[in-house]
């Protein structure tokens, strides 16, 4: 599932390949593609010029030369693919945008095998689309305040992992980077957030920022010029993971086998020696 670093890689790709281009046509190929709250059909963005590609947490949006923005959420498997128009359409194409710049033409396809991703046409309030209003700033935004986030986490009577995943406290961290951040900070995922002191929470957040920054750095060079691909389960950062998906493999720090325990409908991965309760 794409998390902040993967979504940022897609944003950078869109910035390089689509900003400054005009959407000549937009076509919706799937009945569940458009979010219910969309204020207009997808086709309504035809004729707009793409001014910039923005992101908060895992939400992406294209700013257009009109008041509305086009918001995208990749869900589990959403991808943006750039196509040469003469190639066959991607297998799970949910939307196609023909974009032009002068005489140049490109096809931008939103491809989504598992259909949890969506697009929507929205209005912005203070630069943030309506469906993103309830999402807290992510750590790479200018408005991010680490001390407010620490104070907020300390109030929660939930596990530190649950607090890290709460997009209304800090956005961008999903299951993979939560496990990686806690491993790096040597904090057990089930420790209650309100029982931790500020320094310990600060260290978890700093580890989350570091691990995501490293993943962005790797992702920034992983796509080629005409193809922006995000595949959640087998992401480009996978080789660098220390906890997530490594059940039974030795901890990189101490050699103890990584353990996997149930967490909500998913799993938590941690080192039972480095990350004590």
CA distances from 8 to 4, 18, 31, 210 (A): 6, 15, 27, 15
Among 108, 136, 176, 271, binds Zn ion (CB under 5 A): 271
Nearer residue to Zn ion within complex by CB, 192 or 252: 252
Is residue 273 within the footprint of Zn ion (CB under 5 A)?
yes
Find all residues with CB under 8 Å of 106, minimum gap 6, and list them.
17, 18, 21, 82, 83, 84, 85, 98, 99, 100
Is residue 254 within the footprint of Zn ion (CB under 5 A)?
yes
22 is catalytic: no
Nearer residue to Zn ion within complex by CB, 98 or 246: 246
CB of 133 to Zn ion, least distance (A): 40
Is residue 274 within the footprint of Zn ion (CB under 5 A)?
yes
CB of 159 to Zn ion, least distance (A): 19
CB of 256 to Zn ion, least distance (A): 5
Among 253, 266, 276, 277, binds Zn ion (CB under 5 A): 253
**Beta strand 59-64 with 50-56: parallel, antiparallel or unpaired?**
antiparallel
Given the residues 11, 58, 184, 246, the one annotated as active site: 58
189 is catalytic: no
Structure tokens at 4: 């902040």
Structure tokens at 207: 């580890």
CB of 250 to Zn ion, least distance (A): 8
Given the residues 3, 6, 8, 107, the one annotated as active site: 3
Could you write out the DSSP letters of every residue in 155-218?
Answer: T--SBHHHHHH-TTTS-S--HHHHHHHHHHHT--TTSBGGGS-HHHHHHHHHHHHHHHHHHHHH
58 is catalytic: yes
CB of 214 to Zn ion, least distance (A): 19
Nearer residue to Zn ion within complex by CB, 38 or 242: 242
> Which stretch of DSSP H or E encloses residue 4?
helix 4-17
Is residue 186 within the footprint of Zn ion (CB under 5 A)?
no
Nearer residue to Zn ion within complex by CB, 118 or 270: 270
Helix axes 146-154, 198-219, angle to 10 degrees: 130
CB of 16 to Zn ion, least distance (A): 39
> Which stretch of DSSP H or E encloses residue 8?
helix 4-17
Which residues 222-251 are close enough to bind Zn ion by CB under 5 A? 251
Structure tokens at 38: 């969309």
Nearer residue to Zn ion within complex by CB, 56 or 184: 184
67 is catalytic: no
Could you write out the DSSP letters of every residue in 58-98?
Answer: TEEEEEESSS-EEEEE-TTTEEEEEE-TTSPPPTTEEEEEE
Is residue 60 within the footprint of Zn ion (CB under 5 A)?
no
- What's the residue count for the chain? 277
The residues annotated as belonging to the active site are 2-3, 58, 266
Residue numbers of the site for Zn ion (CB under 5 A)? 251, 253-254, 256, 271, 273-274
């Amino acid at each position: 599932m794409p998390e902040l670093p993967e979504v940022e890689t897609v944003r950078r790709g869109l910035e390089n390949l689509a900003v400054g281009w005009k959407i000549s046509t937009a076509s919706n190929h799937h009945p569940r593609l458009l979010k219910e709250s969309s204020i207009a059909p997808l086709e309504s963005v035809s004729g707009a010029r793409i001014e910039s590609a923005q992101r908060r947490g895992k939400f992406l949006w294209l700013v257009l030369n009109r008041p509305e923005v086009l918001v995208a959420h990749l869900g589990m498997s959403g991808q943006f693919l750039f196509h040469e128009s003469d190639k066959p359409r991607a297998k799970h194409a949910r939307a196609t945008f023909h974009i032009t710049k002068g005489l140049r033409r490109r096809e931008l396809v939103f491809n989504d095998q598992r259909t949890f991703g969506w697009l929507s046409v929205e209005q912005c309030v203070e630069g943030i689309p309506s469906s993103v209003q309830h999402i807290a700033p992510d750590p790479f935004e200018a408005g991010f305040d680490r001390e407010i986030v620490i104070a907020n986490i300390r109030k929660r009577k939930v596990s530190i992992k649950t607090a890290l995943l709460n997009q209304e406290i800090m956005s961008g961290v999903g299951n993979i980077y939560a496990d990686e951040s806690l491993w790096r900070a040597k904090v057990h995922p089930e420790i209650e957030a309100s029982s931790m002191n500020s320094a310990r929470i600060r260290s978890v957040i700093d580890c989350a920022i570091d691990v995501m920054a490293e993943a962005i750095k790797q992702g920034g060079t992983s796509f080629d010029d005409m193809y922006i691909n995000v595949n959640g389960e087998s992401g480009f950062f996978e080789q660098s993971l220390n906890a997530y998906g490594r059940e039974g493999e030795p901890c990189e720090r101490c050699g103890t086998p990584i353990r996997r325990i149930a967490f909500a409908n998913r799993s938590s991965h941690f080192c039972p020696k480095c990350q004590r309760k």
